[in-house]
Amino acid sequence: MTAVYINSAACISVQDTLNENFFENLQPAGAGQVLKAIEPVYKEFIPPAMIRRMSKTVKMSSVASSYALKEAGVENPDAIIVGTGMGCSQDSEKFLKNVLDNNEEFLTPTYFIQSTHNTVAGQIALGLQCHAYNFTYVNSSSSLEFSMLDAKLQVTDGEAEHVLVGSTDEQTERTMGLYELNKTIKKQEDLPVDYLSSTTNGVVWGEGASFFVLSKEKKDSSYARLKDIKITNRLDLEETQSFIEDFLAENNLTFNEVDAVILGFSGDAESDVYYTKAMDRFTDSVLLYYKHLSGEFNTASGFSTFMACRILKKQEIPEVMRINEVKKEGVKNILLYNHLGGNDHSLALLERV
């Protein structure tokens, strides 16, 4: 089967991930219930007249995708694939507010047109004048993984040479208020969060955009080889280890042969038990976590994929991500395991090039 390589990785997140030296400056996010992304100066990348009409997720994605394409040396990709859980929720909320405020009359269509989930992929294509395959996946916490899987198939089937793949999600005031009411977001009195041994339910919510260029061509600057992805919507707790074991076996690996595992501990006691269950078998692996750096959101796995790419390329592991004290002379492969609230479990295997 044709190998698929990740030739660039760009991320806008709660951390200053557009800064080349961010690796040394990673800081656990504060004690707030909601974490805001560190945004770039958009006017350096987007014409001011366009900025006013763009929601936050479109702006973040436009910049992150620009970084990814530039790093990969690709002017126009053969496909654009974006994964998002919430889409352009800012414009959705604005449209619904207009509906209520105007008694469903005399509505301008702009917010409605820009509220669709595929707005991000469409805006990127418009900016690039790219008429190639353009697709958006909306599959909760596995949206990026479905996008990566599609891109991998595009490359291996010879349909595309360079695919721009991304994930993005933004926060909105109304939705965050609803998340507080239904206890998705942690109560103020449960902060700060003990991510690895939390006894309370709920999460700290984040946001961000991560973009990658996947290609069949390996470069000296390539980050990693995307070996495989596996996704399941539902998983019983007792099936966790066999789910991972079967995936590793399909890739001729055992638990002991995985150099590093990045787990999506979110501080939600009810659903983090899946990660605890998974950890038990990785006795010889470097165990890492990341949502204390990014916050939880539908496409938080974009941040972990970005970090995995950096770890494989730099052969360095940030101390702030470590769960255990296992040391490795080199990191050849990394397994990423993520879910959201116990649903939509995904595994991704990246290999050093």
What confidence score (pLDDT) does residue 74 get? 97
331 inside domain: yes
166, 191, 215 - which closes a domain: 215
Q: How far apart are CA 26 and CA 21, in angstroms?
A: 9
What DSSP line would sit under 60-106, residue for residue?
Answer: HHHHHHHHHHHHHT-SS-SEEEEE-SS-SHHHHHHHHHHHHHTTT-S
Question: 148 and 348 in contact (C-beta within 8 Å)?
Answer: yes
CA–CA gap between residue 197 and residue 193 (Å, rounded) = 9
Q: Would you state the structure tokens that stand for residue 268, as one six-digit string? A: 């939600």
Whether 47 and 96 map to the same domain: the answer is: yes
Residues 210 and 237 in one domain: no
**Is 48 found in the same domain as 170?**
yes
> In DSSP terms, which residues pair with 177 in a beta bridge?
none
In this structure, the answer to whether residues 105 and 253 fall within a common structural domain is: no
Q: What's the confidence (pLDDT) of residue 92?
A: 82
Is 112 inside a domain boundary? yes
220 falls within a domain:
no
- 210 lies in the same domain as 229: no
Q: Is 56 exposed, middle or buried (0-12, 13-18, 19+ CB in 10 A)?
A: buried
Clarify whether residues 144 and 263 are in a common domain: no
Are residues 106 and 130 both part of a single domain?
yes
How many angstroms separate the most distant Cα atoms in the chain? 66
Check whether residue 21 and residue 166 sit in a common domain: yes
How much is the pLDDT for 113? 75
Question: Domain of 302?
Answer: 225-351
Q: Is residue 282 part of a domain?
A: yes
Q: Give yes or no: residues 229 and 206 share one domain.
A: no
Residues of the chain with pLDDT under 50: none
CA-wise closest residue to 2 among 214, 133, 157? 157
Looking at residue 116, what is its pLDDT? 84
Tokens standing for 304?
């972990």
Whether residues 286 and 261 share a domain: the answer is yes
Please list the residues that pair with 11 across neighbouring strands.
210
The reported pLDDT for the residue numbered 114 is 77
256 and 317 in one domain? yes
CA trace torsion 117, 120, 121, 122 (10° rounding)? 90
pLDDT value of residue 1? 60
Consecutive H or E run containing 128: helix 119-128
Mark which of 196, 215, 234 sits at the end of a domain: 215
Which residues 6+ apart lie within 8 Å of 204 measured at CB?
29, 32, 33, 34, 35, 185, 186, 191, 193, 266, 267, 291, 295, 296
| Residue 274 in domain | yes
Inter-helix orientation angle 119-128/56-72, to 10°: 50
Cα separation values, 201 from 246, 266, 271, 273, Å: 30, 10, 8, 12
Q: CATH code at 246?
A: 3.40.47.10
pTM recorded for the entire structure: 0.95
Last residue within a domain, chosen from 157, 181, 215: 215
Measured between alpha carbons, how far is 154 from 225 in angstroms, rounded to an integer? 15
Q: Is the domain of 206 the same as that of 259?
A: no
pLDDT of residue 275: 98
Helices (H) and strands (E) in the chain, counts: 11, 10
Residue 44 lies in a domain: yes
Q: What is the pLDDT of residue 115?
A: 77
Domain count, the chain: 2
